[in-house]
């Protein structure tokens, strides 16, 4: 199959969170599993290029209408294993310090930026002569691609056999704009209907992806159900999703085990596997305690956090109970995002310098060290589409304490019996539940045999992409076959 992946981020080129990990890993998996030609389209943000990847320019350019003006797109490319990566260039839209926002908030023209990108994906495919069987889009930033295929490009012979798959990585970010975005994107007012692009008087990009794609996926089986239920999970799109229920599948994310492997990880003090974790983790713990200038003490339970600082992640709940826990345990927290949460964490680190360390910002090396050094990994998420961090933590022998929601529920098991558990689950993201789970962890940590049984369960889990990437490919094959069948020659 010819597979075109369109996304706003992909590791190792650009990443703000799990979306980048998922797109990067899936592109590689698709190219390795079977005889598929895989092309990945990304925006060319300011910091892309250089380092390990030297991009070459694709000669020429093409024009994209946006908001009544004509914008120019050019492209550069790099071969990344078997994946051809194309970067769409337009200095006005993408040569900026951040990918989506400044520290003061989202870029005001994010609608135009991703209208431009989504349309440039289709024009770019034509430009390089790549006729995709499948276009796989991710989240609101590329959600207009399926909508274009079913409207403006419906009669375009270049895409006559192209089917679209839209993956919801996080429904909390929908790309909601004023209704004039419809016209900026080149759609017709007749598409501004509640069953199409209209959403409470505005235009919702994610809704466009859900309504117009041939298949929708969500990043874990539990999340695919949660987002169809009324309440906070569907974020207003539950009705639209329910309507397309038969075309919606939950496929659990995996993690890239070439990047995340405690045995070969060059960021950490000492490599280890499931047989040697006791010595390996002890050495990593000592090294990180020293590096972070907190008390060097192997008897203290060390809790790690690597997270976006966002209401979703429930770290405000953790902040509230840290003062009552610091006599029993330590915390090393790495996070970027919400200033209020960062301030609260900074204050805690200042008040308890031997027990709490906080670094604000994005730091790949420190993240690896935290996964390896910590005994437990805290994720009191209010909702969690899939979550990669808990899987990375488990692979590194750090037991997650996580809310029973979304992908956390699908990957963390707690039965009350250490021999059949790989972490701790809390029923809801609140202080009481988190306090009680942390209490359980503190006392179980002293019973080394039981604790180590749980570490082995966690480290022996299968978090690879193999099964899930295979499921995507099966869906691609079947939707492509359906698309082909539906054509009237």
Interacting residues with ligand ADP (CB under 6 A): 17-19, 21, 306-308, 334-336, 362-364, 367, 386-389, 392
Note whether 138 and 169 are within 8 A (CB). Answer: yes
Encoded tokens for 35: 């005889």
Name which of 239 and 361 has its Cβ closer to ligand ADP.
361
What phi, psi does 359 have (nearest 5°)?
-120, 125
Query: 25 CB contacts (<8 Å, ≥6 apart)?
Result: 11, 254, 255, 256, 465
Work out how close the CB of 169 gets to ligand ADP at its nearest, in angstroms, rounded to a whole number. 7
Name which of 176 and 388 has its Cβ closer to ligand ADP.
388
Query: 265 CB contacts (<8 Å, ≥6 apart)?
Result: 271, 368, 372
Name which of 33 and 172 has its Cβ closer to ligand ADP.
172
Question: Residues 123, 127, 132, CA angle at the centre, nearest 5°?
Answer: 70
Query: 27 CB contacts (<8 Å, ≥6 apart)?
Result: 5, 10, 38, 40, 80, 83, 85
Work out how close the CB of 66 gets to ligand ADP at its nearest, in angstroms, rounded to a whole number. 28
Name which of 182 and 378 has its Cβ closer to ligand ADP.
378
Work out how close the CB of 217 gets to ligand ADP at its nearest, in angstroms, rounded to a whole number. 15
Work out how close the CB of 370 gets to ligand ADP at its nearest, in angstroms, rounded to a whole number. 9
Name which of 404 and 477 has its Cβ closer to ligand ADP.
404
Name which of 164 and 170 has its Cβ closer to ligand ADP.
170
Query: 135 CB contacts (<8 Å, ≥6 apart)?
Result: 4, 5, 6, 121, 125, 145, 146, 149, 162, 163, 164, 165
What phi, psi does 211 have (nearest 5°)?
-75, -40
Work out how close the CB of 306 gets to ligand ADP at its nearest, in angstroms, rounded to a whole number. 5
Q: Cα separation of 55 and 64, whole Å?
A: 23
- CB closest to ligand ADP, residue no: 18
Name which of 145 and 392 has its Cβ closer to ligand ADP.
392
Work out how close the CB of 362 gets to ligand ADP at its nearest, in angstroms, rounded to a whole number. 4
Name which of 173 and 187 has its Cβ closer to ligand ADP.
173
DSSP state string for 365-434: HHHHHHHHH-SEEEE--S--SS-SHHHHHHHTT-EEEEESSHHHHHH----SSGGG-SSEEESSSSHHHH
Work out how close the CB of 383 gets to ligand ADP at its nearest, in angstroms, rounded to a whole number. 10
Work out how close the CB of 99 gets to ligand ADP at its nearest, in angstroms, rounded to a whole number. 13
Q: Cα separation of 476 and 474, whole Å?
A: 5
Name which of 17 and 280 has its Cβ closer to ligand ADP.
17
3-state secondary structure of 46: coil
Closest CA to 376 of 398, 408, 345, 409: 398
Buried b (16+ CB within 10 A) or exposed e, 424-438: bbbeebeeebbbebb
Work out how close the CB of 379 gets to ligand ADP at its nearest, in angstroms, rounded to a whole number. 8
3-state secondary structure of 450: helix
3-state secondary structure of 137: strand
Name which of 162 and 174 has its Cβ closer to ligand ADP.
174
The residue count of the chain comes to 489
Work out how close the CB of 177 gets to ligand ADP at its nearest, in angstroms, rounded to a whole number. 22
Work out how close the CB of 396 gets to ligand ADP at its nearest, in angstroms, rounded to a whole number. 11
Name which of 6 and 19 has its Cβ closer to ligand ADP.
19
Peptide bond into 12 cis (omega under 30): yes
């Amino acid at each position: 199959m010819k597979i075109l992946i369109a996304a706003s981020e992909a590791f190792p080129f650009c990443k703000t969170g799990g979306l980048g990990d998922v797109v990067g890993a899936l592109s590689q998996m698709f190219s390795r599993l079977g005889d598929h030609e895989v092309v990945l389209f990304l925006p060319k943000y300011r910091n892309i290029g250089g380092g390990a990847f030297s991009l070459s320019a694709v000669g020429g350019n093409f024009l994209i209408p946006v908001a009544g003006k004509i914008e120019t797109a050019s492209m550069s490319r790099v071969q990344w294993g078997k994946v051809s990566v194309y970067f769409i260039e337009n200095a006005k839209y993408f040569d900026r310090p951040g990918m989506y926002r400044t520290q003061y908030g989202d870029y005001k023209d994010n609608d135009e930026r991703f209208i431009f990108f989504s349309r440039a994906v289709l024009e770019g495919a034509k430009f390089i002569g790549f006729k995709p069987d499948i276009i796989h889009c991710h989240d609101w930033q590329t959600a207009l691609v399926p909508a274009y295929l079913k409207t403006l490009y419906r009669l375009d012979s270049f895409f006559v056999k192209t089917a679209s798959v839209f993956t919801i990585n996080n429904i909390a970010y929908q790309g909601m704009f004023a209704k004039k975005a419809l016209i900026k994107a080149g759609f017709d007012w007749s598409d501004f209907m509640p069953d199409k692009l209209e959403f409470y008087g505005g235009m919702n990009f994610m809704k466009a992806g859900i309504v117009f794609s041939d298949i929708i996926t969500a990043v874990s089986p539990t999340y695919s159900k949660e987002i169809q239920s009324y309440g906070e999970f569907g974020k207003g799109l539950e009705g639209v999703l329910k309507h397309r229920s038969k075309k919606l599948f939950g496929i659990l994310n995996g993690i890239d085990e070439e990047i995340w492997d405690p045995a070969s990880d060059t960021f950490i003090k000492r490599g280890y596997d499931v047989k040697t974790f006791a010595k390996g983790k002890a050495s990593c713990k000592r090294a990180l305690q020293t590096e972070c200038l907190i008390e060097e003490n192997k008897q203290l339970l060390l809790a790690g956090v690597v997270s976006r600082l966002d209401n979703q992640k429930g770290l405000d709940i953790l902040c509230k109970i840290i003062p009552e826990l610091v006599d029993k345990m330590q915390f090393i927290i790495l996070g970027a995002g919400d200033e209020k949460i960062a301030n609260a964490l900074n204050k805690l680190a200042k008040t308890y310098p031997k027990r709490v360390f906080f670094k604000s910002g994005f730091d790949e090396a420190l993240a690896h060290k935290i996964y390896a050094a910590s005994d437990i990994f805290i994720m009191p998420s209010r909702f969690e589409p899939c979550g990669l961090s808990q899987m990375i933590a488990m692979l590194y022998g750090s037991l997650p304490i996580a809310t029973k929601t979304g992908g956390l529920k699908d990957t963390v098991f707690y039965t009350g019996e250490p021999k059949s558990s790989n972490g701790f689950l809390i029923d809801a993201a609140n202080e009481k539940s988190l306090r009680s789970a942390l209490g359980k962890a503190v006392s179980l940590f002293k019973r080394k045999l039981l604790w180590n049984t749980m570490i082995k369960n966690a480290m022996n889990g299968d978090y690879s992409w193999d099964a899930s990437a295979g499921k995507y490919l099966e869906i691609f094959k079947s939707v492509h076959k359906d698309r082909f069948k539906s054509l009237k020659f």
